[in-house]
Amino acid sequence: MRIKTILFDLDGVLYIGDNPVPGAVEVIEELRTSGFGLRFITNTSTKLPQEIIRKLTNFGFNVSSEELFTPLRSARDYLISVSLSRMYPVINSEILPYFKEFIIDQENPEFILIGDIGDKWNYQLMNKIFNFTMNGAKLIALHKGKFYNSGTGNVLDIGAFISGIEYSANVRAAVFGKPDLNFFNSAVATTKCDKGEILMVGDDLDNDIAGAQKSGYKTVLTKTGKFNVNYVQLSDIKPDYLIESVRDLPKLIKEIK
Protein backbone atom coordinates (compact mmCIF):
# COMPACT_ATOMS: atom_id res chain seq x y z
CA MET A 1 0.00 0.00 0.00
CA ARG A 2 1.60 3.25 -1.09
CA ILE A 3 1.85 6.41 1.00
CA LYS A 4 -0.82 8.99 0.21
CA THR A 5 -0.72 11.38 3.19
CA ILE A 6 2.24 12.62 5.24
CA LEU A 7 1.93 13.95 8.79
CA PHE A 8 4.63 16.42 9.81
CA ASP A 9 5.75 17.56 13.19
CA LEU A 10 6.82 21.21 13.00
CA ASP A 11 9.50 22.40 15.42
CA GLY A 12 12.57 20.24 14.97
CA VAL A 13 11.46 18.86 11.61
CA LEU A 14 10.47 21.80 9.38
CA TYR A 15 12.07 24.52 11.48
CA ILE A 16 14.22 24.85 14.57
CA GLY A 17 13.53 27.92 16.65
CA ASP A 18 13.47 30.87 14.28
CA ASN A 19 15.02 29.17 11.26
CA PRO A 20 13.61 26.71 8.72
CA VAL A 21 15.49 23.44 8.32
CA PRO A 22 17.54 23.71 5.10
CA GLY A 23 15.56 22.36 2.17
CA ALA A 24 12.31 21.94 4.13
CA VAL A 25 10.33 24.59 2.23
CA GLU A 26 11.29 23.01 -1.07
CA VAL A 27 10.41 19.51 0.16
CA ILE A 28 6.89 20.54 1.19
CA GLU A 29 6.32 22.18 -2.19
CA GLU A 30 7.68 19.11 -4.03
CA LEU A 31 5.41 16.77 -2.11
CA ARG A 32 2.36 18.95 -2.78
CA THR A 33 3.17 19.03 -6.47
CA SER A 34 3.51 15.24 -6.43
CA GLY A 35 -0.04 14.92 -5.07
CA PHE A 36 0.56 13.90 -1.47
CA GLY A 37 -1.91 15.00 1.18
CA LEU A 38 -0.16 16.94 3.94
CA ARG A 39 -1.11 17.50 7.57
CA PHE A 40 0.88 19.37 10.20
CA ILE A 41 0.44 18.22 13.80
CA THR A 42 2.21 19.96 16.63
CA ASN A 43 2.22 20.05 20.42
CA THR A 44 3.17 23.74 20.34
CA SER A 45 1.14 25.43 23.08
CA THR A 46 2.70 28.89 23.16
CA LYS A 47 1.00 30.26 20.04
CA LEU A 48 -2.50 30.46 18.65
CA PRO A 49 -3.07 28.40 15.48
CA GLN A 50 -3.17 31.52 13.31
CA GLU A 51 0.20 32.62 14.71
CA ILE A 52 1.71 29.25 13.82
CA ILE A 53 0.37 29.62 10.29
CA ARG A 54 1.85 33.12 10.10
CA LYS A 55 5.24 31.81 11.26
CA LEU A 56 5.20 29.05 8.67
CA THR A 57 4.19 31.52 5.95
CA ASN A 58 7.02 33.85 6.90
CA PHE A 59 9.43 30.94 6.51
CA GLY A 60 8.03 30.33 3.02
CA PHE A 61 5.84 27.29 3.74
CA ASN A 62 2.43 27.01 2.09
CA VAL A 63 0.17 25.66 4.86
CA SER A 64 -3.55 26.25 5.33
CA SER A 65 -5.38 26.44 8.65
CA GLU A 66 -7.35 23.30 7.72
CA GLU A 67 -4.10 21.33 7.54
CA LEU A 68 -2.84 22.39 10.99
CA PHE A 69 -3.72 20.50 14.18
CA THR A 70 -2.73 21.69 17.67
CA PRO A 71 -3.82 20.53 21.16
CA LEU A 72 -5.68 23.77 21.89
CA ARG A 73 -8.90 22.87 20.11
CA SER A 74 -8.94 19.30 21.45
CA ALA A 75 -8.54 20.52 25.03
CA ARG A 76 -11.13 23.28 24.71
CA ASP A 77 -13.71 20.96 23.16
CA TYR A 78 -13.15 18.44 25.95
CA LEU A 79 -13.50 21.02 28.71
CA ILE A 80 -16.75 22.29 27.23
CA SER A 81 -18.07 18.74 26.82
CA VAL A 82 -17.55 17.93 30.52
CA SER A 83 -19.00 21.29 31.64
CA LEU A 84 -15.94 22.62 33.46
CA SER A 85 -15.87 26.40 33.71
CA ARG A 86 -13.40 27.68 36.34
CA MET A 87 -9.72 27.39 35.50
CA TYR A 88 -6.32 28.22 36.87
CA PRO A 89 -4.20 28.83 33.74
CA VAL A 90 -0.55 27.77 33.66
CA ILE A 91 -0.08 28.70 30.01
CA ASN A 92 1.57 31.27 27.81
CA SER A 93 -0.45 34.50 27.93
CA GLU A 94 -0.56 34.54 24.13
CA ILE A 95 -2.97 31.59 23.99
CA LEU A 96 -5.21 32.73 26.85
CA PRO A 97 -7.77 34.28 24.43
CA TYR A 98 -8.37 30.81 22.98
CA PHE A 99 -9.92 29.80 26.30
CA LYS A 100 -12.05 32.91 26.79
CA GLU A 101 -15.14 30.77 27.56
CA PHE A 102 -13.67 29.89 30.93
CA ILE A 103 -13.49 31.90 34.15
CA ILE A 104 -10.09 32.40 35.76
CA ASP A 105 -10.28 31.32 39.39
CA GLN A 106 -7.18 31.92 41.50
CA GLU A 107 -8.62 30.35 44.66
CA ASN A 108 -10.80 27.32 43.91
CA PRO A 109 -10.54 26.30 40.26
CA GLU A 110 -12.27 23.27 38.79
CA PHE A 111 -9.25 22.56 36.60
CA ILE A 112 -5.65 23.60 36.03
CA LEU A 113 -4.76 24.11 32.37
CA ILE A 114 -1.06 23.47 31.77
CA GLY A 115 0.93 24.39 28.67
CA ASP A 116 4.39 25.66 27.84
CA ILE A 117 5.63 28.45 30.13
CA GLY A 118 9.37 28.14 29.56
CA ASP A 119 11.52 28.72 32.64
CA LYS A 120 8.71 30.14 34.80
CA TRP A 121 8.35 26.86 36.68
CA ASN A 122 9.29 27.00 40.36
CA TYR A 123 8.53 25.27 43.64
CA GLN A 124 5.82 27.75 44.65
CA LEU A 125 3.91 27.23 41.41
CA MET A 126 4.15 23.44 41.57
CA ASN A 127 3.03 23.43 45.19
CA LYS A 128 0.04 25.63 44.32
CA ILE A 129 -1.01 23.26 41.53
CA PHE A 130 -0.46 20.30 43.85
CA ASN A 131 -2.81 21.75 46.47
CA PHE A 132 -5.46 22.59 43.86
CA THR A 133 -5.42 18.96 42.70
CA MET A 134 -5.55 17.71 46.30
CA ASN A 135 -8.74 19.79 46.65
CA GLY A 136 -10.29 18.11 43.62
CA ALA A 137 -9.24 20.27 40.65
CA LYS A 138 -8.69 18.37 37.39
CA LEU A 139 -5.22 18.42 35.82
CA ILE A 140 -5.50 19.29 32.13
CA ALA A 141 -2.28 19.15 30.07
CA LEU A 142 -2.06 20.43 26.52
CA HIS A 143 0.71 17.86 26.11
CA LYS A 144 3.22 15.97 28.25
CA GLY A 145 6.48 16.38 26.35
CA LYS A 146 9.70 15.18 27.99
CA PHE A 147 12.08 17.69 26.43
CA TYR A 148 12.39 20.00 23.45
CA ASN A 149 15.06 21.80 21.46
CA SER A 150 15.21 25.49 22.33
CA GLY A 151 17.40 26.33 19.35
CA THR A 152 20.50 26.29 21.54
CA GLY A 153 20.04 22.80 23.03
CA ASN A 154 17.59 20.39 24.63
CA VAL A 155 15.71 21.54 27.74
CA LEU A 156 13.14 19.96 30.06
CA ASP A 157 9.56 20.12 28.84
CA ILE A 158 6.34 20.35 30.87
CA GLY A 159 6.00 16.58 31.17
CA ALA A 160 8.63 16.56 33.91
CA PHE A 161 6.57 18.93 36.05
CA ILE A 162 3.22 17.31 35.27
CA SER A 163 4.58 13.88 36.20
CA GLY A 164 5.83 15.25 39.52
CA ILE A 165 2.41 16.64 40.38
CA GLU A 166 0.69 13.41 39.30
CA TYR A 167 3.02 11.41 41.55
CA SER A 168 2.61 13.60 44.61
CA ALA A 169 -1.15 14.15 44.35
CA ASN A 170 -1.94 10.60 43.18
CA VAL A 171 -3.84 11.88 40.14
CA ARG A 172 -3.62 11.48 36.38
CA ALA A 173 -3.70 14.40 34.01
CA ALA A 174 -5.96 14.46 30.97
CA VAL A 175 -3.38 14.88 28.20
CA PHE A 176 -4.03 16.25 24.71
CA GLY A 177 -1.76 16.50 21.68
CA LYS A 178 0.71 13.82 20.65
CA PRO A 179 1.00 10.91 21.42
CA ASP A 180 -2.76 10.79 22.15
CA LEU A 181 -4.37 8.52 19.57
CA ASN A 182 -7.47 10.72 19.29
CA PHE A 183 -5.24 13.64 18.33
CA PHE A 184 -3.60 11.66 15.52
CA ASN A 185 -6.94 10.28 14.40
CA SER A 186 -8.55 13.72 14.24
CA ALA A 187 -5.93 14.76 11.68
CA VAL A 188 -6.10 11.53 9.69
CA ALA A 189 -9.91 11.58 9.62
CA THR A 190 -9.73 14.59 7.30
CA THR A 191 -7.68 12.63 4.72
CA LYS A 192 -9.96 9.65 4.00
CA CYS A 193 -6.84 7.46 3.89
CA ASP A 194 -6.30 4.01 5.35
CA LYS A 195 -3.75 3.60 8.14
CA GLY A 196 -1.27 1.95 5.81
CA GLU A 197 -1.31 5.01 3.55
CA ILE A 198 -0.15 7.39 6.32
CA LEU A 199 3.44 8.35 7.07
CA MET A 200 4.46 10.33 10.18
CA VAL A 201 7.65 12.42 10.11
CA GLY A 202 8.98 13.63 13.45
CA ASP A 203 12.02 14.22 15.65
CA ASP A 204 10.42 12.93 18.88
CA LEU A 205 10.50 9.20 19.62
CA ASP A 206 7.84 9.32 22.32
CA ASN A 207 5.32 11.76 20.90
CA ASP A 208 5.76 11.45 17.13
CA ILE A 209 7.02 7.93 16.52
CA ALA A 210 5.43 5.90 19.33
CA GLY A 211 2.09 7.69 18.99
CA ALA A 212 1.97 7.19 15.23
CA GLN A 213 3.00 3.54 15.46
CA LYS A 214 0.23 2.85 17.98
CA SER A 215 -2.15 4.42 15.48
CA GLY A 216 -0.91 2.04 12.79
CA TYR A 217 1.09 4.51 10.68
CA LYS A 218 4.56 4.16 9.21
CA THR A 219 7.12 6.46 10.82
CA VAL A 220 10.22 8.44 9.92
CA LEU A 221 12.57 9.88 12.54
CA THR A 222 14.73 12.83 11.51
CA LYS A 223 18.17 13.49 13.00
CA THR A 224 17.28 17.16 13.50
CA GLY A 225 15.62 19.07 16.33
CA LYS A 226 15.60 17.15 19.59
CA PHE A 227 17.18 14.02 18.09
CA ASN A 228 19.73 12.57 20.49
CA VAL A 229 21.62 9.43 19.49
CA ASN A 230 22.03 8.17 23.07
CA TYR A 231 18.32 8.62 23.82
CA VAL A 232 17.39 6.76 20.64
CA GLN A 233 19.75 3.88 21.32
CA LEU A 234 18.42 3.40 24.86
CA SER A 235 14.76 3.48 23.80
CA ASP A 236 12.61 0.48 22.95
CA ILE A 237 10.81 2.64 20.39
CA LYS A 238 12.18 2.03 16.90
CA PRO A 239 11.14 4.18 13.91
CA ASP A 240 10.47 2.45 10.62
CA TYR A 241 12.91 4.77 8.88
CA LEU A 242 15.70 7.12 9.94
CA ILE A 243 16.89 10.09 7.85
CA GLU A 244 19.36 12.91 8.36
CA SER A 245 16.74 15.60 7.76
CA VAL A 246 13.44 16.23 6.02
CA ARG A 247 15.46 17.10 2.92
CA ASP A 248 15.96 13.34 2.42
CA LEU A 249 12.24 12.53 2.61
CA PRO A 250 11.31 12.60 -1.12
CA LYS A 251 14.02 10.06 -1.91
CA LEU A 252 12.92 7.82 0.95
CA ILE A 253 9.26 7.89 -0.07
CA LYS A 254 10.17 6.51 -3.49
CA GLU A 255 11.74 3.52 -1.73
CA ILE A 256 8.82 2.79 0.62
CA LYS A 257 6.65 -0.04 -0.59
| Average pLDDT across the chain, whole number | 94
Residues 6 or more apart whose CB falls under 8 angstroms from that of 49 comprise 65, 68, 70, 72, 73
pLDDT of residue 155: 86
Domain locations along the chain: 5-70+178-255, 72-175
Please answer whether residues 91 and 98 qualify as being in contact, where contact means their C-beta atoms are separated by less than 8 angstroms.
Answer: no
pLDDT average, residue stretch 207-222: 95
Calculate the dihedral angle through the C-alpha atoms of 222, 224, 227, 232, rounding to the nearest 10 degrees: 30
pLDDT in tens, 116-133: 999 999 999 999 999 999
Does 5-70+178-255 match 72-175 in CATH topology?
Answer: yes
Q: For domain 72-175, give the fold.
A: Rossmann fold (3.40.50)
Q: Give the pLDDT band of residue 1 (cuts 50, 70, 90).
A: low
pLDDT of residue 218: 96
Residue 17: C-alpha distances to residues 12, 60, 132, 235 (Å): 8, 15, 34, 25
Burial 207-237 (b: 16+ CB within 10 A, else e): bbbbbbbebebbbbbbebbbbbeeebeeeeb
Least confident of 9-23, 40-54, 147-161, 175-189: 147-161
pLDDT in tens, 68-94: 999 998 899 999 999 999 999 999 999
pLDDT of residue 256: 83
How many residues are given for the chain? 257
pTM of the model: 0.88
In this structure, which CATH number among 3.40.50.1000, 3.60.10.10, 3.40.50.280, 2.70.240.10 belongs to the domain 5-70+178-255?
Answer: 3.40.50.1000
Q: Give the pLDDT band of residue 257 (cuts 50, 70, 90).
A: low
pLDDT in tens, 163-201: 999 999 999 999 999 998 889 988 999 998 999 999 999
Residue 164: C-alpha distances to residues 112, 119, 144, 161, 169 (Å): 15, 16, 12, 5, 9
Angle in degrees, CA 13, 6, 58, rounded to 5: 50
Residues 6 or more apart whose CB falls under 8 angstroms from that of 254 comprise none
